[in-house]
Amino acid sequence: MANKSGNAYALTVLCPIRGGVQSHTAPLQQQLQTLQVNEQSPMAKVPNTYLCRFWVLSDVPYQGKPGFLDHLKSDYLVFSSNFYGELDPYLEGMWKALETGIRVILSHCVDGDSVSDAESFIEYIKRCKVATTFFFNGSTDEPLAQQLKNLYLKQEFSKFAFENQGKSASDLQAAFRAFVLRTQPDNLDGPTWAAGAYHLDKVVK
Amino acid sequence: MSNIAGKAYAMNAVTPMRWYTAWWNRLFFGIANLRPSTTAGLATLSLIHYARWVIIMPGQFPNLGKGQPRENVKYAYMIFFSNFNGSWNQYVDSFSSAIPRGLDLFWFGSIKYPKSVPVLPFHRYITSNQIWTDYYYNAYPMATSNDVKSAKRIKDALLPFIADSQRESPEEFLQKYNRLLINLQHDISQMGPNPVVSLSASAVERNLGKEREWREKN
């Protein structure tokens, strides 16, 4: 099974949703659809999350005759995440960042109330986890902090190259030294791009 | 509910396959895992951030007890997740053009799979089996997959350039700087939010924003 490609991990989780007389699917979807987005997304606080998604699998598709008509007996909350690193530290980081939100979401899932701390959260996820059969990593194999710094440098260096065209050698060298001091290329903590930011005036932190 | 986060699109497709042929698919994927050269065509689709295929055999849907009924499906199910840039049509067309035989191997034994060529039946197959995303997060919504890769190339070139150019004369610096620009000419570009390509998509985003504000106040 290929949950990993290089250092990137493909986590796929199917959490069964509480059914019965009062199904929890609709309120769960309502909560998911009204979560904050971009830099205010709760997932922006979870370290090393590249891209992730939530959706509900209510039933399996029917292809028509002569195929069989299958039905699922439960709805499932599908969570898939592409992140850097190993599973346990990632889930620990997720619990640390989002404990309250996780408790709310899992209150709609079967046995979700058994989750009370990071350890039980990791165990719960592993019970709901399905193995990835094939994972294709089309990106770079670096931690998110490095990728965000790279993007910041690309943006700033592109601006620098454009704005300093035609300058004399000494002026250019002086400007480049100032550029290096300002952008601190070795410093992953900052200045850099903020995770999830989607506006030019909010992206640099 | 959105399949889009910045410049990335989240596709989810669930397709049934005969459980007794799903083993073949697992074998094909296993070979692809061991021999990355078999997926060289996939690597040419530089618009993909990450993609995965997950085969769930009939007895493998998670069951946590506590009264949850056990699933009793006849088929195995393959879930395909993709994170890519560009439009849905561009992506499906690219897939079909770049790796038609690969797709046919991946979806071998799937119920009523029409093959990847011709492309319109393949479009219909994916559309009818696609499930919408309820929430999608992207750590770099202003960047495409190519931007992420080119940013790494810029960083990899810039750091040694900075180290090497500390004590040079301005003229030596200028020569090396110009060479740096030539080497990075395909990577230097500025990023920003998507242009408005769909008025209805923009309206959805505005309305979602208003709904969130209303919920926060109430």
DSSP string, B9-59: EEEEEEEEE-TTTHHHHHHHHHHHHH-GGGGHHHHT-TTEEEEEEEEE-GG
Residues 87-126 of chain A whose Cβ lies under 8 A from any Cβ of chain B = 110-111
Specify if A40 maps to a domain: yes
**A122-136, A148-162, B27-41, B159-173: lowest mean pLDDT where?**
B27-41
Q: What is the DSSP letter of B68?
A: P
Contact A51, A142 (CB under 8 A): no
Query: What is the number of other CB atoms lying within 10 angstroms of the CB of residue B116?
Result: 23
Residues 50-69 of chain B whose Cβ lies under 8 A from any Cβ of chain A = 50-56, 60-69
Band (pLDDT 50/70/90 cuts) for residue B199 is low
Average pLDDT over residues B184-193: 95
Domain membership of residue A173 as a residue range: 142-205
Task: Find tokens 């009924």 and name the residue.
Answer: B69
- Chain B residue closest to A82 (CA)? B50
Q: Is the pLDDT of residue A1 over 80?
A: no
Report the CATH number that the domain containing residue A97 is assigned in CATH.
3.30.70
Q: Is the pLDDT of residue B212 over 80?
A: no
- Chain B residue closest to A5 (CA)? B33
Band (pLDDT 50/70/90 cuts) for residue B166 is confident
Give per-residue pLDDT as tens, B82-135: 999 988 999 999 988 888 988 999 999 999 999 999 999 999 999 999 999 999
Q: Return the pLDDT at B207.
A: 76
- Chain B residue closest to A2 (CA)? B33
Band (pLDDT 50/70/90 cuts) for residue A186 is very high
Task: Find tokens 């397709």 and name the residue.
Answer: B15
3-state secondary structure of B77: strand
Q: Is the pLDDT of residue A21 over 80?
A: no
User: In which order are the strands placed within the sheet that holds B4-5?
Assistant: A134-137, B48-56, B76-85, B8-17, B4-5
Q: Return the pLDDT at B213.
A: 78
Q: Return the pLDDT at B197.
A: 56
Q: Return the pLDDT at B8.
A: 95
Query: Which carries the bigger pLDDT value, residue A15 or residue B94?
Result: A15
Tell me, rounded to whole angstroms, the distance of Cα B85 from its chain centroid. 7
Tell me the angle at which helices B170-183 and A169-183 cross, rounded to the nearest 10 degrees: 60
The CATH number of domain B4-129, selected from 3.20.20, 1.10.8, 3.40.1350, 3.30.70: 3.30.70
Q: Are residues A190 and A94 in the same domain?
A: no
**A9-18, A104-113, A143-152, B201-210: lowest mean pLDDT where?**
B201-210
Query: What is the number of other CB atoms lying within 10 angstroms of the CB of residue B87?
Result: 12
Contact A84, A50 (CB under 8 A): yes
Q: Is the pLDDT of residue B200 over 80?
A: no
Q: For chain B, give the mean pLDDT.
A: 91
Which of B33, B52, B151 is closest, CB to CB, to A153?
A: B151
Band (pLDDT 50/70/90 cuts) for residue B38 is confident
User: What is the share, in percent, of chain A residues with pLDDT greater than 90?
Assistant: 92
Q: Are residues A67 and A167 in the same domain?
A: no
Specify if A137 maps to a domain: no
Specify if A136 maps to a domain: no
Q: How many independent structural domains does chain A possess?
A: 2
Of B76, B95, B28, whose CA–CA distance to A130 is shortest? B76
Contact B151 A111 (CB under 8 A): no
Complex confidence, ipTM: 0.96
Average pLDDT over residues A51-67: 95
Band (pLDDT 50/70/90 cuts) for residue B201 is low
Q: Are residues A178 and A83 in the same domain?
A: no
Q: How far separated are the first and last CA of chain A, in Å rounded?
A: 38
- Chain B residue closest to A169 (CA)? B170
Contact A150 B155 (CB under 8 A): yes
Q: Cα–Cα distances in Å, from B154 out to A150, B141, B171, B174, B180?
A: 7, 19, 22, 18, 9
Residues 183-202 of chain B whose Cβ lies under 8 A from any Cβ of chain A = 187-193
Question: Which pTM does this prediction carry?
Answer: 0.93
Specify if A163 maps to a domain: yes
Specify if A135 maps to a domain: no
Contact A155, A179 (CB under 8 A): no
Give per-residue pLDDT as tens, A95-107: 999 999 999 999 9
Which of A37, A132, A157 is closest, CB to CB, to B52?
A: A132
Band (pLDDT 50/70/90 cuts) for residue B217 is confident
Q: Are residues A122 and A62 in the same domain?
A: yes
Q: Are residues A124 and A162 in the same domain?
A: no
Residues 84-143 of chain B whose Cβ lies under 8 A from any Cβ of chain A = 106, 111-112, 128-129, 131-143
